[in-house]
Every structure is written in C-alpha cells, then in structure tokens.
Amino acid sequence: MKAKRSSKNVPPDGLPTYRLFTGPDDAAFCRRVSEALALGYKLYGSPAATFKGKDVMVAQAVIWPAVEPAIAKSKG
C-alpha cells in the first residue's frame, strides 16, 4: 500500500481517522496493521482475539493522532 503523505491533521488518500482491522491472526493481518502504523496511525486500545472453528481471529483499532484530543475530551 503506497499512500501519499498528508498533512498532520488528516490521514492520506481520504482514509478515515478511525480504522478497525479484523481477520485471521496471520502475516497478512500484521502487515495491514503495520502499514497503517507506517502511515502515521497509532494503536487504539488493546487487540482482541477469539476463535472461529480452529482459527484465531483478531481485531486491532487504530486512530489518526489528530483525533486523540477529541477522544480524550469525550472520555473525561
């Protein structure tokens, strides 16, 4: 995923400020999260894991750093 760098206030290429990655716990999932981090996203919360049959399914949320103050304000 080759994306253009954007201003510090918004993610590149029109991506949303909040993203939730889900899928099997495999290298492809790890790459997707790693690519988001390389673009400038930050991990948001702990990862989640569950079983689907014999497979482990995982989820990880990421946020664009510019929205952190708004999130902190809404929590407190």
Whether this prediction's pTM lies above 0.85 is answered by no
Query: What is the domain range of residue 64?
Result: 15-75
Whether residue 9 is contained in a domain is answered as no
Identify whether the C-beta of residue 67 lies closer than 8 Å to the C-beta of residue 75.
Answer: no
Whether 8 is in a domain gets the answer no
Per the domain annotation, does 41 fall within a domain? yes
- 3-class secondary structure, 19: strand
What span, in angstroms and rounded, lies between the C-alpha atoms of 63 and 17?
Answer: 6
Decide if 61 is inside a domain. Answer: yes
Residue 32 counted as domain residue? yes
Q: Are 6 and 12 in contact (CB under 8 A)?
A: yes
Nearest alpha-carbon partner for 20 in 55, 56, 47: 47
pLDDT in tens, 3-61: 555 578 999 999 999 999 999 999 999 999 999 999 999 999 999 999 999 999 999 99
On whether residue 40 sits in a domain, the answer given is yes
